Amino acid sequence: MARIVFVQNIWYEYLGVMYISALLKKHGHFTDVVIGNNSKDILHELKKLRPDIVGFSCLTSNYKWNLTIANEIKKELGCLVLFGGIHPTANPEIIEESGIDVVCRGEGEYPVLELAEGVSGKISITGIKNLWIKDNGQIYKNELRPLVQDLDELPFPDRDLYLKYGFFRHQEVWHFIAGRGCPFDCTYCHNNIGKEIYKGLGRYVRQRQTEFILREINEFKQKSKMKYVFFSDDVLWIKKDWMMSFLKAYKKEVNLPFYCTLTPKATDENLIRTLKESGCYFTAIATETGNEKIRHDLLRKRMTNKEYIELASLLHKYDIPFATSAMLGLPGVSLDQTLDSVRLNWILKPFYPWTSIFQPYAKTWLAEYAIAHGYMSRDGLDCLSQDFYKMSVIKQEDSNAIINLHRLFYPICKFPKLMPVFMKLIKLPHNFIYDFVFLIFYAYYVKKLQKLTYYQIMVHGLKWAKEFVRRG
């Protein structure tokens, strides 16, 4: 039996970690998770748990934090350190870092299971597919195995992993997926990297069977305080016929309020009506920008403002609250073009107009475009913020105004008559007041979306706000 402990610094249940943990436990291995920001506390917990493997699910935004902790773990404990997730998949060369022993590219369930078997002495670890492994100074770069085509062959995610923490025991919203992969080809997204490396290794977009999704939800509902279901799929509703059938079965067998994302390409009035009848309490629409030319040509998202307006109109008609999402600070996009996102939201009238500061993630087409056209240096890829709200590495005119626009985006979209005042404010030097305004309205949105209690908002929201301000 191998002992595997996952480490993370945010209060969020990682689906990838839970899927891997479930398969490991099914085969007799021990798993646990340690959550925290303080390395001393993390090391204290790990010493008690005595892991053979410490795993990190790694985004580009938290890679540096993960690497810092990994180096301390190697120094203090000497156990095997595994990095998996989006960032290692796109950048497996991080295996050369001293704190990393193994990099998992792509899907991790079966590779990590084989790694655990290897640590237990049953098999050699140097030839495990999907893994890049450093052993005695040599790096083994193994090829990828085919994608898991039947997602229902995997055991249900191990949500018990997180329930040792009071935050999760009292959590009312839990995340589920109905499939994996995205059919679109947006230039800023990691999915294009996944499609490229998995070419010829099976269907990239895969759907689970309705009966397994509903069974998973109902089993967890019986042993938790879950009151809301959050579908985390990149794009949940691509096939209308499947969606209609699923919603009717969901209403009959689960009957909990749920969240999902929507795209204009797969919705009509009948579908929106059925969403409402089935219990959709909130949804989101990714516009990315209010400027159609930029959306089409730069982002390769082939949707029109008219389509978004029609979808928003239906959501208002059937009283389904929704958020929009947009990226500010895109390379080569002027302040006036950026303000098209404000103008579109004035028409759409969402419950919350969510925005991020564009982060050019390594290996994506848009990051390479930004570098090639002089909006950033390649070194800028190593300077990304730990979140996508704080800063921009894109160097262009009006960058300060665009950062201020991000902080004031909610009130600007909600109070169009005050636009002349806001235009003057966004051109002033940035200060903490802008950050404070953003944090207040963002907490309001998160409470609505995640159904958090005021206690959870206070405790964990204040910690996040402190980190937000501290990162400067």
Encode 203-228: b = buried (16+ Cβ within 10 Å), e = exposed.
ebbbbbebebbbebbeebbeebebeb
Distance CA 285, CA 269 (A): 16
Distance CA 389, CA 411 (A): 16
Within-domain flag for 398: yes
Q: Is the separation of the CB atoms in 325 and 339 below 8 Å? A: no
- Give pLDDT, residue 453: 67
Cα–Cα nearest to 359, from 24, 86, 56? 86
Block means of pLDDT (10 residues each) for the chain, length 472 residues? Answer: 95 95 98 94 96 95 92 94 96 95 97 95 90 94 97 97 91 94 91 93 94 97 94 80 92 96 89 96 96 97 96 98 96 96 98 94 93 91 72 89 96 96 95 90 80 65 54 46
Same domain, 200 and 314: yes
- Give pLDDT, residue 265: 82
CATH number at residue 28: 3.40.50.280
Distance CA 166, CA 459 (A): 12
- Give pLDDT, residue 471: 47
- Give pLDDT, residue 121: 84
Within-domain flag for 277: yes
Distances (CA, A) of 318 to 227, 269, 271, 368: 22, 9, 11, 42
Pairing of strands 179-180, 206-207: antiparallel
Within-domain flag for 118: yes
Same domain, 100 and 194: no
Identity of residue 296: H
Same domain, 187 and 242: yes
Within-domain flag for 289: yes
Same domain, 264 and 379: yes
The whole domain housing 91 covers 3-141
What size, in residues, is the chain?
472
Distances (CA, A) of 289 to 106, 131, 226, 354, 406: 29, 37, 34, 11, 13
CATH number at residue 378: 3.80.30.20
Within-domain flag for 150: no
Cα–Cα nearest to 324, from 339, 309, 306, 302? 309
Within-domain flag for 156: no
Same domain, 210 and 68: no
Domain count, the chain: 2
Identity of residue 86: I
Within-domain flag for 165: no
Same domain, 206 and 134: no
Which residues, 6 or more positions from 384, have their beta carbon under 8 angstroms from its beta carbon?
A: 60, 61, 359, 360, 361, 393
- Give pLDDT, residue 459: 60
Of 120, 141, 162, which marks where a domain is finished? 141
Same domain, 137 and 178: no
Distance CA 320, CA 276 (A): 7
Same domain, 135 and 178: no
Residue 324 tokens read as: 């929009």
| pTM to 2 decimal places | 0.92
Long-range contacts made by residues 134-142, C-beta under 8 angstroms, separation at least 24?
Answer: 134/95, 134/96, 134/100, 134/101, 134/102, 139/95, 139/96, 141/92
Angle at 40 between CA 36 and CA 43, to 5 degrees: 80
Within-domain flag for 161: no
- What string of DSSP letters covers 63-90? HHHHHHHHHHHHHHT--EEEEESHHHHH
